[in-house]
Structure 1
Amino acid sequence: MTELVGSERDLAFFDAARSADVVNARMGSDISPRLGEVMAIVVNHLHAAVKEAGLTSEEWMAAIEFLTRTGQMCSDWRQEFILLSDVLGVSMLVDAINHYRPEGSTENTVLGPFYVPGAPCYDNGANICLDGKGEPLVVRGRVTDIEGNPVPGAIVDVWATNDDGFYDVQQKGIQPDHNLRGVLTTGSGGEYWFRTVKPRFYSIPDDGTVGKLLASLGRHPYRAAHLHFMVKAPGYDTVVTHIFTPDCPFLSEDAVFGVKNSLIAEFRPIDDPIEIETLGFTSPSWKVDWDFVLSRTEDVRRIDN
């Protein structure tokens, strides 16, 4: 048996006063330096929080049961841990730290738990609304660089809820597959456009642990009305963002803190019958013009504390 000396002996056995130091001292010397750095910070803050809150054994067990149930809620199409990260503002914070772009660039917001890769590819002008519900909307604009030059061949991936406030993956067998999802490619002038429906506010899934947490905190589960976008092009930082309607009652209290002032768009009504017919709509409709401004990958940096 190896005899412990000095600081080794001090940290060999649990001591409440130095609990984080005792735990962190157990890490091996040949682990990933970054893992060691992150875990030491997590342990320090976790132990400090437990001490500051003076948690009881019952409260800590309730926290463990909450995390267990959160994991049990996860499936191929529902990620309750992403939802938890979102409602605590952590998703927005991690994104902000890692995507500090030059002024004038389109800002990011949360990816959300309902992004699905592999959506159908459409030609510009396509209608991605497959269930026929909602107020028709045309979205058009350009993808440019920070100097205003067009970015041809950029990929514009869009997804949204239907007029009932659900994503297609939440209503398998009710909504058509890939309803209100599509992938477009910008033209030679960086232009894109598609037809969809005007977004409406909706509740995030509140039948699980995250919904119960929000209720216990006196918070509502509603997201401000929005369209999701992911815009990417070689050499540019990928933009994951939304555009929001300006008339939504939950604009200033979005459940996942996703709203930024620069992402609030102008939705204008289309009343001209000729324009409505030209767009392939049969009822009064809406339009929004929205440009995405991409930053070169090398111009994006992290915010260090």
Structure 2
Amino acid sequence: MDSSQQDISETRRSSLFDYSEVVTLMVGKGKRTTQHCFSASLPRLCSESPYFKDRLFGDHQEARDRNIQFGTIDPRTVVCMLYWFRGWTCPYCHEDAHHIVDSYVLAQKYNIPRFKSDLVREMQTVLDNNAADTSVLSCFVHLYRVLPDDSQLFDLLHRHLLDELKALLPILAQVYQPSLAKHLRDLLALKGEKLSEIKALLGHAYQHRSALDAADLTRPFDTLSPKPPDTKSHQNRFTTSFDSIRGDCITSSTTLPFSELMNEQRASKHGKHKIIPR
């Protein structure tokens, strides 16, 4: 093969395997073998994020190495971001509200506005499909702790919680779930003007609640402490008597999932009373 043919061959090879516009995203710390590495398009990253544009074209180490270090975060949040960059749907967003919050925090940190807006829409879908999911409380607490309370996602969760708590007040005085009590204690420990309405609703409910000690609920709850020993047997379950609930839904003390209780409450509000079998 003469030199001209060799040059042509090298040119074709370089055009087929051009990595000049590929950025490596690295999650985790330590040796490369213990990290999660992902490839991303340089133009796409920079077109959506002023942060990436500055780091990858400015006088920074990332521009020279063509990689971004994300540190010790959940790799699924970076996967979610890459799904979004490629126009795909993230499978985790449909089933995990906590994952949406973590991905939103990532989008906020790396300044990806359109990604944040789409995550807010994903959260709205999750809330519509799982309106009575108590994990929303813990999502709200986590988001409030790590981000300012003027975010779009905060406003969405705040409105949702206000609506849900108002619907819960007629039965909140008679139901008990240890994990829910933990989330409520975490929420009451937060500070901020935007939380005043939620705290007022909770304060009213706990004044008329015999199952929990109102004074104890005002103390901050250590999120790292072990759960009460009876938490496992009551996880995601409520035990309640419907005798005092407004409407024709009368039954003896029955154990039901939280979602069924909420559906029962909504049905009674609209005059659609359902008799629960004994």
Normalization by structure 1: what TM-score?
Answer: 0.26
Larger helix percent: 2
The structure number with the bigger radius of gyration is 2
Normalization by structure 2: what TM-score?
Answer: 0.27
Larger strand percent: 1
- Highest relative contact order (Cα 8 Å, sep 6+), 1 or 2? 1
